[in-house]
Structure 1
Amino acid sequence: MFDLDLFYETDHRAYLKKMALETCINFIGRTISQSEFRFSKDGKRQYNDWHYLLNVRPNTDQSAAEFWQSFVYRLILDNEALVILSDDNDLLIADDFDREEYAVYPDVFRNVTVKGYIFKRTFQMDEVIHITYNNEKLTKFMNGMFEDYADLFTRMIETNKHSNQIRGTVSIESTQSLDEQNRTRLQEFIDRLFNAIRKSAVAIIPKLKGFEYNEVAAGDKSGRSVEELKKLKRDLTDDVANILGIPTSLIHGEMAEYETSIKAYIRFCIGPLIKKIKDELNAKLITKSDYMNGEKIDVLGVAELNPLEVATAVDKLRASGVYNGNEIRIKLGDEPVDNPALEEYVLTKNYQRASEDAVEGGEEG
């Protein structure tokens, strides 16, 4: 009795951290994977090798959707993501690398590792696609909070188990102390008895002479309920979502105020991330002179409005003369078309200037 260890170490539930991060990061990754990377010059779409790499097949093992979802996952989890172009013209996401930073020269990346293969050559900043997400690594920033949640979650589970524990006493008739062999046999019998009670809906306990089993009700039945454990996991996911700028109602699939939540999600979470990706692609894939001459890369497919949902607003913009037809098409994510009518600005009579004389009806007397 005195040799028993009366303490236990709280197990840090690693799956809590994994669950919260996977839920939120993959939510963003799936959104970005729907993007289309469009090359254009003077408003006209261009097709080249980069278009195929970014939109169809970046490398031999990934589709474009898989590539960009993995890219976003690496970017948010590690706070930075590095993409290199191999000698076979494959875009590869680095698993690990060493970065040497310089003040007035381009940074250099060494020991770039992809799927266990280490590139012997070095890569300069102007040769790679490299994006940072935040000033602080997400996992490093949240480690303390995850440990606290894990401690609390573990204690809640242990309390719930303790309050609903099956307890019993066993008494035997004996005038002498049990030897080692009999103690072992007795323990094996008790273990079989306990397993029968624990695993079976109906357990039949044999009644033996000199052996008596009595079940004792647990003293406290007010342990943590399953709903409280679920709420704790939800709160942890909410904290991660708030840091990443995701409205919590979207993460949990709640339809209340869906339109407001999706607009906030696009503006404050997806919009800034798309801007970072677009700026990096324009800086690395297009030269300064070409960019100044009208070449650029746009990232479309996520933040654009649905034409059917904004048909009334589109009609007002066109009728008021603020935008022409092709400008509205661009805002909706469509390409401009060679139609002279769509290049004209129209103004209905409802929008005529107040200083103009009103058109009078009837005949002159």
Structure 2
Amino acid sequence: MGILTWIIDRLSNGQPIETSVDPSEFFNLAAELYIRDMAFQSAVNLIANSVSKCEFKTYLNSKEVKLQEYYLFNIEPNRNQNSSEFLQKMVHKLYENNEALIIEVSGQMLVADSFSKETYALYDYQFKNVTVDGFNFNRTFMMEDVLYLKLNNKDIRRLINGMYETYGKMVAYAQDKFQKSKGNKGTLEISGVAQGKANFQETFQKMMNERFTTFFKADNAVLPLFDGYKYNELDQRVSEGSRDIKAMVDDIYDFTARAFCIPQVLLRGEVANNQDVVNSFLTFCIDPLCDKIQEEINRKRSGYKGFVKGTFVKIDTKAIKHIDLLSVATSIDKLISSGAFCINDIRNLVGDEPIAEDWAYKHFITKNYSTVEEFLKEAGGGTNE
């Protein structure tokens, strides 16, 4: 399949279309669509993959438990998807459409592919024409019965598409500039004697259409000329077009990263061994999104009555970062020796299974830690009464 055929097929959703548009316009359109979609999808994939690594911790009476609700969000939300696939689809719908709808049918959580919404100021929103995998649910879903997520007051994709329009044209222009710079250019001197010959027009056309065409297409060739003709090749400067294209593509990625609150080096795929980059990504991009998801789950599935009794879901984003045990050994020692965490707390933190022993749940503290009063007493001093 040629590139032009592929583009037409994508734009027509596989339906045959008739077009009289110049094919060169399709190639300019392709440059814009490729870069636009690649930058947007790269950002969404990065966020979706990060959210799918999070653990949805469930609490009952303020104690962490792993029951049906935990299994639903962390293992199997429905028969046809695992939790990672479910969360990735949810995040993609949220960023592509600026909203996402999750319905529950027969105990299964499903992300809607499409739906229509009726809004009311003081009453529940109503969701109709809900479809999932081509199946249309012939019913109305009320706001209290669904999980409804809205990303921003303004559609982020619509906003950054405005920027893409300008940069897409600039990239197409840079491509055209680069292609032109790779061609051969020169001048052809024709003497008056040659022009005066009776068969001049025929000879000239044959030379241009056959000899010059073959000469320019060949990697190595010799150009024979008739008497009275002289070809002079013009000096060609190396074009900066390819570098211009890369710089503008990087600009598109940088603007997209800013719109998504993602560090630019992270979206461009540059290997940056900088903890601040990952922390910034979690703080300004992932944590706010997880807070939004967590709040919607708690207000719909637990409500106020459940919340005050200690029944809620908490999304733990610590699992997103890879932990090298050797690099954090000193920090682990401090966390345990200060009494802040028990051994099983640390094992959960680094992704290991807890130890089924009572001592693993005890808190330890070194003798170096003491109150001021205890320190003065041991030093032979005291406090003034």
* Alignment TM-score, normalising by the size of structure 1: 0.78
Residue correspondence of structure 1 range 24-103 to structure 2 within 5 A = 24-41=43-60, 42-48=62-68, 50-87=69-106, 89-103=107-121
8 Å CA contact 2:50–2:320 kept in 1: the answer is no
Match of 1:149 in 2: 167
8 Å CA contact 2:95–2:157 kept in 1: the answer is no
8 Å CA contact 1:164–1:221 kept in 2: the answer is no
Residue correspondence of structure 1 range 1-365 to structure 2 within 5 A = 11-12=28-29, 13-41=32-60, 42-48=62-68, 50-87=69-106, 89-167=107-185, 175=198, 190=209, 194=213, 197-198=216-217, 200-203=218-221, 207=224, 214=231, 216-217=233-234, 221=237, 223-300=239-316, 302-303=319-320, 306=323, 308=325, 309-325=327-343, 339-341=357-359, 344-356=362-374, 357-358=377-378
Match of 1:4 in 2: none
Distance 1:215 1:26 in 2: 53
Would the alpha carbon gap of residues 130 and 165 (structure 1) be closer, same or farther in structure 2, given more than 3 Å must change?
A: same
Amino acid at match of 2:112: A
8 Å CA contact 2:52–2:88 kept in 1: the answer is yes
8 Å CA contact 2:43–2:267 kept in 1: the answer is yes
8 Å CA contact 1:304–1:331 kept in 2: the answer is no
8 Å CA contact 1:44–1:335 kept in 2: the answer is no
The worse-fitting range, judged by mean Cα deviation, of 28-37 and 58-67 is 58-67
Distance 1:57 1:334 in 2: 21
Distance 1:209 1:188 in 2: 9
The sequence identity of aligned pairs, in percent, is 29
Would the alpha carbon gap of residues 120 and 267 (structure 1) be closer, same or farther in structure 2, given more than 3 Å must change?
A: same
Q: Shift of residue 222 of structure 1?
A: 5.3
Distance 1:98 1:188 in 2: 66
State how many pairs are aligned: 344
Distance 1:320 1:55 in 2: 32
Distance 1:299 1:104 in 2: 30
8 Å CA contact 1:168–1:213 kept in 2: the answer is no
Q: CA offsets per residue over residues 262-309 of structure 1, 9 Å max, x none?
A: 111112211111121222222233343333322222323635783824
Would the alpha carbon gap of residues 351 and 225 (structure 1) be closer, same or farther in structure 2, given more than 3 Å must change?
A: same
The worse-fitting range, judged by mean Cα deviation, of 160-169 and 322-331 is 322-331
The structure with the largest helix share of the pair is 2
Q: Which runs of 5+ in 2 are unaligned?
A: 1-23, 381-385
Distance 1:305 1:11 in 2: 41
Amino acid at match of 2:96: L
Equivalent position SS for 1:153: helix
Distance 1:77 1:69 in 2: 12
* Alignment TM-score, normalising by the size of structure 2: 0.75
8 Å CA contact 1:304–1:333 kept in 2: the answer is no
Q: CA offsets per residue over residues 61-90 of structure 1, 9 Å max, x none?
A: 433222222221221222111122345x44
Equivalent position SS for 1:352: coil
Q: CA offsets per residue over residues 113-142 of structure 1, 9 Å max, x none?
A: 334443321111122221112221112111
Q: Shift of residue 229 of structure 1?
A: 1.4
Would the alpha carbon gap of residues 195 and 96 (structure 1) be closer, same or farther in structure 2, given more than 3 Å must change?
A: farther
Would the alpha carbon gap of residues 216 and 86 (structure 1) be closer, same or farther in structure 2, given more than 3 Å must change?
A: farther
Q: CA offsets per residue over residues 27-84 of structure 1, 9 Å max, x none?
A: 1111122223333324242221x44443334344433222222221221222111122
8 Å CA contact 2:339–2:364 kept in 1: the answer is yes
8 Å CA contact 1:76–1:133 kept in 2: the answer is yes
Distance 1:67 1:194 in 2: 57
The worse-fitting range, judged by mean Cα deviation, of 166-175 and 55-64 is 166-175
Q: Shift of residue 234 of structure 1?
A: 0.9
8 Å CA contact 2:175–2:241 kept in 1: the answer is no
Distance 1:295 1:332 in 2: 25
Equivalent position SS for 1:348: coil
Distance 1:284 1:187 in 2: 80
8 Å CA contact 2:127–2:140 kept in 1: the answer is yes
Q: Shift of residue 165 of structure 1?
A: 2.0
Distance 1:278 1:27 in 2: 19
Q: CA offsets per residue over residues 175-196 of structure 1, 9 Å max, x none?
A: 3696xxx89xx58982796367
Would the alpha carbon gap of residues 91 and 358 (structure 1) be closer, same or farther in structure 2, given more than 3 Å must change?
A: same
Distance 2:82 2:322 in 1: 26
Equivalent position SS for 1:84: strand
Equivalent position SS for 1:92: strand
Match of 2:21 in 1: none
